[in-house]
Amino acid sequence: MSPQTQASSRQVDGPLLKVTDLRTAFRTDRGLVKSVDGVSFTLDRGKSLGIVGESGSGKTVLSRSIMGLLPKRNTERSGSVVFEGQEIINLSLSERRKVWGKEMSMIFQDPMTSLNPVMRVGKQLGEGLKIHLGMSKADARATALRLLQDVRIPEPEKRLDQYAFELSGGMRQRIMIA
C-alpha cells in the first residue's frame, strides 16, 4: 500500500494514539538494558496526555520510542503503536518522515536542543512547511508569521528574523509548538 493510500485510509474515528505493551531496550557491552517496560495507554482525539516523571525516568525514551526516533542499530523495540488507525512501529524511515512534524511531534522542555542556533526562526519554520506542505518560500514565510501570531509571540514579524538564542525559553517553546 502506498503512503498516500495509507494516509487516506487512516481511521478518523476511534483513538488518536493507542500504545500497547511498548517495550524498549538498549544493547550495551554489559548486555540488554530495559528502558520502557510494557507501557500501554490510549489517547482519544481532542485530549491531552502529560508524561510526568523524575529526571532519568524514561519520559524522553518513551516518546522517542513511540515516534520511532531511536537508532535501530542499538535498540530493541516491541509492542504496538497505532496512530490514526495505522500501526506505525515498523514504518520505514521515509514513511515515518511523512508523519513527523506534520502529524506527530515532540516538544522538549529545552527547545534549544531542537532549534538550529545558526538558522533564523522564520527559515526553520518555513523549511518544515515547504517540505511537508509543498509551499513556496513566500507562502511558507507568510504561514510562519501566522503561526507565530497563533501562539501569541510578541512582535512576530521581528521574531521571524531572529535566531533562537535571541529569544526567551518560553518563546522558544512556542516556536516549537508553532
pLDDT at 106 over 60: yes
Instruction: Kindly report the pTM of this predicted structure.
Output: 0.64
**Contact between 79 and 87 (Cβ < 8 Å):** no
Cα–Cα distance measured from residue 30 to residue 28, given in angstroms and rounded to the nearest whole number = 5
Average pLDDT of every residue of the chain = 85
pLDDT single digits (tens) 42-64? 999 888 888 888 888 888 899 98
Cα–Cα distance measured from residue 69 to residue 62, given in angstroms and rounded to the nearest whole number = 10
